Structure 1
Amino acid sequence: MLTLHTAPLVLPVGAEPVPDGAVLVDGDRVAAVGPYEKLAAAHPGARTRRWPGVLTPGLRQLHGRWLLTRCYHPDPREADELGTAPISGPALDELAPDAARMAGSVRRGLQRMLAHGTTHVGGPFPDAVRQSVVRSGLREVPAGPSTADPAHLDPFADGHGLPRTVHGPLTVGGPADLAVFDVPDADALTAEGAGTCVATVLGGRLVYRRR
């Protein structure tokens, strides 16, 4: 089924921004990128999903291995005691979560990455963690150099702009890995960060939507 994801500003990266733009998704691939009115007229049977803000390629989280193997992501029921941010370093040693708690932490960490517009995550991972990554649909990529606190879920924390934070440009025939952020433009996105994410699409599937 064809789906049109439309937003006030589409930022394909590697091509000019498209005001009132849209990305046409066919299965797990990008079929077209352009003005919404033009694509909607050419594909009248396509389902439309309207989003606020900017639509970009999905983001790349370089700290995937660290976040999933050396951090603990508290359960919401633990928030009063432990907060909501990833726990690492001496605080993690003091918490000393067992294998079952760490397995739950991995699942929550993956969900929170999706909630930050992440579609690609830096590995490599131990086998047990890799299984969870595969089930989540996130795409494993090599980790790269970084300057940020590795216990940060926001890929923009490294201080790079959008072109160096996305997994790659949106191209016709490429994977339909998209993210949507409730900000007006690219400068606001890098300033306010990926916590503004309202939706993440991975392989054409809507895998996160802010409630």
Structure 2
Amino acid sequence: MLTLHVAAATGGAVLVEGARIAALGPYEELAAAHPAARLRRWPGVLTPGLLNPHGPELLERTYHPDPREAGELGTGPISDPAVLASLGMTEARWGASARRGAQRLLAHGTVAVAGEPRVRAVADAVRRLGLDVLPRSGPPEGVPSLDPFAPGSGPPTWMPGLRAGGPARFAVFDVRDAAELPERGAAACVATVLGGRLVHRAV
């Protein structure tokens, strides 16, 4: 099935077929050439998606509480080693945490992380959600954060540009243009697509 994604701020569109990008171009041209394509309209701009360099730090050294634990642990990520030790983290619990953490990464327009997970349950969770995992040569600069635009997290890194025939892997941010992203942050993400699948939708 063909799906046409169009971003309101630019009028640019991406035509997706399966897990690949079939075409890129102005919305009017692609819509006229493919009238049967399913249409998804998004506010803002469509981008290649972000690479978060802190994969292991965020997914197997940080605990993402279950919503049912909010009363006891809150809702934010927990990376304090003393608190983690008190939680008695098992591999299964790390896997469940990684699923929640990866979903939060997707909600910030992240389509890939750097750094191979060493905990098997974490690696399985990342693979099942479809996040790309890239190698890295050493610890990255900056403080680990779900939002690559957060102060102190280091310079944000984008994945390679979109192209016809390339992987259907991108994000949409509800901003006027990419220059507004540092001010708004990656929480402005309204949609993330991996392998042609809509894996996060905020609107």
Same fold (TM over 0.5): yes
- Shift of the alpha carbon at 1:122? 1.4
Matching residue of 2:26: 35
Match of 2:155 among 157, 160, 167: 160
Match of 1:110 among 99, 102, 115: 102
Matching residue of 2:142: 148
Q: Distance in 2 between matches of 1:146 and 1:190?
A: 19
Match of 1:125 among 117, 129, 138: 117
User: What SS is found at the alignment partner of 1:125?
Assistant: coil
Contact 1:4 1:47 in 2 (8 A): yes
Matching residue of 2:84: 92
Contact 1:73 1:85 in 2 (8 A): yes
User: What SS is found at the alignment partner of 1:23?
Assistant: strand
- Shift of the alpha carbon at 1:47? 0.9
- Shift of the alpha carbon at 1:72? 0.3
Letter in 1 for 2:131: L
Query: TM-score with structure 2 length normalisation?
Result: 0.89
Q: 2:16 matched to 1:21?
A: no
User: What SS is found at the alignment partner of 1:72?
Assistant: coil
- Shift of the alpha carbon at 1:95? 3.6
Contact 1:123 1:142 in 2 (8 A): yes
Query: TM-score with structure 1 length normalisation?
Result: 0.86
Contact 2:94 2:122 in 1 (8 A): no
Q: Distance in 1 between matches of 2:91 and 2:194?
A: 28
Matching residue of 1:8: 8
Moved more, 121-130 or 167-176: 121-130
Matching residue of 1:12: none
Match of 1:180 among 172, 196, 199: 172
What residue ranges of structure 2 are gaps of 5+ in the alignment?
A: none
- Shift of the alpha carbon at 1:3? 0.8
Contact 1:63 1:143 in 2 (8 A): no
Q: How many residues align?
A: 198
What residue ranges of structure 1 are gaps of 5+ in the alignment?
A: 10-18
- Shift of the alpha carbon at 1:159? 4.3
- Shift of the alpha carbon at 1:192? 1.5
User: What CA deviation, in whole Å up to 9, does each residue of 1:53-81 have, x standing for no partner?
Assistant: 11111211111111111100011122233
